[in-house]
Structure 1
């Protein structure tokens, strides 16, 4: 579990996060949603330590990440997998080398063990025969799957995904969502996804927090989001006429 307690963050005197508190649960897909500029990306980066919070605390399974030494933070970082928005693969490295990279940096495994783990991760994302390809030879969806394989190579307890469906067509985005969901369950990870993709919200959003103007204004599940009476949330999600119709259907049925 990851806990965020009363977090504040400012840049150049402008408050971006204002007293945000949340709990992100293991074995669940936890989503942070909100408009562009709402503070959701700053929150995600604050949780992983890319931004230092001004006030408040970030806690990983009872361990205060905010107050610990850099040495202790390195230990937690070994337990973190990160899926970046643009996949962030190394263009000059093969698929196998990209997936093996965290193992080379953070593990004491033998060459044979690294090879075995790399192949396992590639098989898990259905890319068994892609070892010797380069990122430029892959589709956007395949690049995301390689990035997921790399993110789970160290068998992390925590998985962070920044806009994982950015730039993908709807069908491929669903494949990536389902893969993240399956891996979360399989490894009982605490998965946190930063997104504004309502397909992801409705498809895999088990725990959702909605950020507006730097504040958490709603939290719940994808079953609850369509019947929320929170005006700020509804203005965000019902920009889509289709979702408005879905909401009206739920309300007519008394759900």
Structure 2
């Protein structure tokens, strides 16, 4: 579980996050959504410590991240997995070398133990017969699955995904969404996903936090969102014709 309390963050005198408090629960896909410039990326980066907050507190279970020194934070980061927007694979590393990298950096496992863990993670994300290929030799969807395998190779308690569907076609995006959700449930991770993809919201939005102009504007589930009494949220959700149609269909069905 990750709890944030009254987070404030400013850059050059401009306040980007304004008194945000919420809880991200384990075994659920927790989504942060909002328009570009709303502050959702800053919030995610603040939670993982890439930005230092000005005020507030961040708790990983009962551990206050904001009060940790560098050594303690480094230790805690070994419990985190991160899927970056572009995948962030090492071009000069093979698929299995990319996945093994955290094990080489942070563990004293034997070569056999590392290989077994790499094989397990690649199999879990349905990557087969590609261990010795390089990122340039596989598709964008496969690259994202390799990135997810690398993110879970240390068996993290916390998984962070920054726009995991960026650059992917709708069908592949659905596969990635389902994979992240399955892994979250299976491994009981506290997963936080930063996204503007409404398909992801409607498919895997167990808990949703809507950020508008740096403030928490709404939170709920994918079942609540279509009928939420929040003008800014509705404008964001139904900006796409598909979701206006979905709303009308649900209303008609319930009448």
Measured against the shorter chain, the TM-score band is over 0.9
Partner of 1:143: 143
1:227–1:250 CA contact under 8 A, matched in 2: no
- State whether structure 2 residue 225 is matched by structure 1 residue 225: yes
Secondary structure, counterpart of 1:51 in structure 2? coil
- In 1, Cα distance between equivalents of 2:251 and 2:228: 10
> Aligned-pair distance for 1:74?
1.1
Q: For residues 162 and 209 of structure 2, what CA distance do their matches in structure 1 show?
A: 15
Q: Deviations over 1:203-242 (max 9, x none)?
A: 0000000000000010000000001110010011110122
Is it true that 1:45 corresponds to 2:75 in the alignment?
A: no
The match for 1:74 is 74
Q: CA deviation at 1:247?
A: 1.2
Would you say how many aligned residue pairs link Structure 1 and Structure 2?
255
Q: Aligned-pair distance for 1:69?
A: 1.2
Is 1:119–1:128's contact at 8 Å kept on the other side of the alignment?
no
Q: CA deviation at 1:70?
A: 1.1
User: Counterparts of 1:197 and 1:251 in 2: how far apart (Å)?
Assistant: 23
SS of aligned partner of 2:66? coil
| Backbone CA RMSD of aligned residues | 0.9
Query: Which structure 2 residues correspond to residues 52-63 of structure 1 after superposition, within 5 A?
Result: 52-63=52-63
Counterpart-to-counterpart distance in 2, 1:125 and 1:249: 35
SS at match of 1:123: helix
Runs of 5+ consecutive residues of structure 1 not aligned to the other structure:
none
- 1:43-88 deviations in Å (ceiling 9; x for gaps): 0000000000000011000100011111111111000000000000
Structure 1 match to 2:123: 123
Note the C-alpha offset of 1:12: 0.5
- Matches of 2:247 and 2:178, distance apart in 1: 24
> Which residue pairs with 2:92 in the alignment?
92
1:1-12 alignment runs, 5 A limit: 1-12=1-12
- Counterpart of 1:176 in structure 2 is 176
The 5 Å alignment of 1:163-202 reads: 163-202=163-202
Identify the residue that residue 158 of structure 1 maps to in structure 2.
158
Q: TM-score, normalised by structure 2?
A: 0.98
Q: CA deviation at 1:140?
A: 0.2
Q: Is the 8 A contact 1:44 1:194 kept in 2?
A: yes
The 3-state SS of whatever aligns with 1:82 is strand
Give the Å deviation of 1:250. 2.2
TM-score, normalization: structure 1? 0.98
Quote the Cα distance in structure 1 between the aligned partners of 2:254 and 2:219: 21
Distance 2:184 2:107 in 1: 22
Which runs of 4 or more aligned residues in structure 1 lie more than 6 Å from their structure 2 counterparts after TM superposition?
none
